[in-house]
A and B are shown apart, each in its own frame.
Chain A
């Protein structure tokens, strides 16, 4: 079990236990976290599971963005920043223990 922290737009944070093999998006949805919509279910066509990765130290442990993810991040509702990722593209592993992600104010 890996614990992931979600910071919601109102500044509240919530720790969620995450199972290896799921994506950060799936973890958020299963926990009913507001602001992760993930309309397409992880197929990289909706860009409504956008997050800002806060944990600088873990950034290089994340898998690199694919070309499609790069494209989709240019069309997110809240403009992308350096830590922007689609949370469906971050698979949970032990190496991500303590990951903190911030949820943007809007997804659509």
Chain B
């Protein structure tokens, strides 16, 4: 049989973790057709996790972030085009159109557009000193700001906000974290884990303000940030503000092309959208996972981006399977290594194992008597064992997928 793709043209939109991995894996698996990797950022694809960790600390430089150097792409006949923003998909003509007007034809299109920062909409939010952290450029700017500022307020106690708080505190800044919810990282981790991490931040001298809502930024006579006004009327003085209040998936391309979208581009278990010639992978994709058949998920993690990319490359090369990689995640704050195998569900039973005072413990989540996730603190081995346990469970229950509703099914109501 002829290898698939001798004449097939694949166009990938988004040259981040997922898009880059897809191009790499396709060639590794022998895909012989044309690959065009389009990214709106300048320069070669890079990894984001160190941006809020080692890179911000200064322990590694930007050249250590690159996933593949530019030469890699030309050596493997991958047309990599940085600084190319895709504006539109024409499904009938099967092409994508860049902002320059240039149209690029595809036989198969892959959307790997990721997410963007949710912007804060309170008065004076565009003043200098109010920054975000997602791209290398933003990380560079933040690093420079940290050198010249003394006091920083972080809005949002999610992973990025908390990781930044740790680095900023270790760099000697005064750090205050403001969060609307009653605890940190509340969407992803248990109460036990939040409080352990919060205790460490407090002992390092970070001030944490929960149940606190930002109302407005106050500026000095030169228009520079002076304080954050809270809804309860209190002022938090700061010359620098990092906004880390979450992200918005980049679904607009898909939406205007009338693909099914619901806070993420909807894909089935082969990562195909409602158009069989278009796939979506990484942070922008929403799908059903056989381990968690009760809800659709959209994950923002390296594991998800890389595993989906490798899976899709295999599927394009003719491997028949469903996407079911075990989700895992990590966050480094100070010398704490928080890891999650699986996904913690809102109604799961959470059980603590080990003594947090010893510095290493885990929280096991289960539903119907079966483990759904394991959170670990400084327990790499237990984390890896949990990943294997979830993998074994999936292998032993291959029929689970059949029971999970297929998300790209037309019966799903799309948000207007």
Contacts and interface: CB of A to CB of B under 8 A. Distances in A.
B64 A72 contact: no
B72 A68 contact: no
B303 A74 contact: no
B332 interface: yes
B384 A41 contact: no
Contact of A40 (B66, B68, B330): B330
Contacts of B302: 39-40, 46
A32 B75 contact: yes
Contacts of B63: 26, 30
A22 B75 contact: no
A30 B330 contact: no
Interface stretch (B49-57, B128-136, B191-199, B364-372): B49-57
A42 B75 CA distance: 26
A29 B44 CA distance: 12
Contacts of A30: 63-64, 66, 69
Contacts of B108: none
A108 interface: yes
Contacts of A45: 330, 337, 339, 380
Contact of A42 (B28, B50, B303): B50
Contacts of A108: 310
Most chain A CB within a 10 A radius of its CB, from B71, B72, B388? B72
A65 to B, nearest CB: 12
B380 A68 contact: yes
Interface residues of A, number: 22
Interface string A36-78: 0101111111100000000000000000000010011011000
A39 B60 contact: no
A77 B33 CA distance: 29
B69 A31 contact: yes
B71 to A, nearest CB: 6
A72 B50 contact: no
A29 B68 contact: yes
Interface in B297-312: 302-303, 306, 310
A34 interface: yes
Nearest to B388: A75
Contacts of B277: none
B337 A68 contact: yes
Contacts of A29: 64, 66-68
Given A29-B67, A45-B330, A45-B337, A39 B28 contact: no
Interface in B42-87: 47, 49-50, 53-54, 60, 63-69, 71-72, 75
B92 interface: no
B415 interface: no
B332 A74 contact: no
Contact of A43 (B49, B310, B388): B49
Nearest to B68: A32
Contacts of A75: 384, 388
A39 B69 CA distance: 15
A43 B332 contact: yes
A41 B50 contact: yes
B392 interface: no
B413 interface: no
A74 B384 contact: yes
A74 B383 CA distance: 12
B326 to A, nearest CB: 12
A80 B175 CA distance: 43
Contacts of B68: 29, 32
B332 A71 contact: no
Given A32-B75, A45-B337, A72 B384 contact: yes
Contacts of A44: 337, 380
Contacts of B306: 37, 39
B81 to A, nearest CB: 18
A71 B53 CA distance: 22
Closest 5 CB pairs of A and B: A32-B72, A75-B384, A71-B380, A71-B381, A45-B330
25 contacts: A26-B64, A29-B64, A29-B66, A29-B68, A30-B66, A32-B71, A32-B75, A37-B306, A39-B303, A40-B49, A41-B47, A41-B50, A41-B54, A41-B65, A42-B54, A42-B64, A43-B49, A43-B54, A43-B330, A44-B337, A45-B330, A45-B380, A71-B380, A75-B388, A108-B310
Interface of B: 28, 47, 49-50, 53-54, 60, 63-69, 71-72, 75, 302-303, 306, 310, 330, 332, 337, 339, 380-381, 384, 388
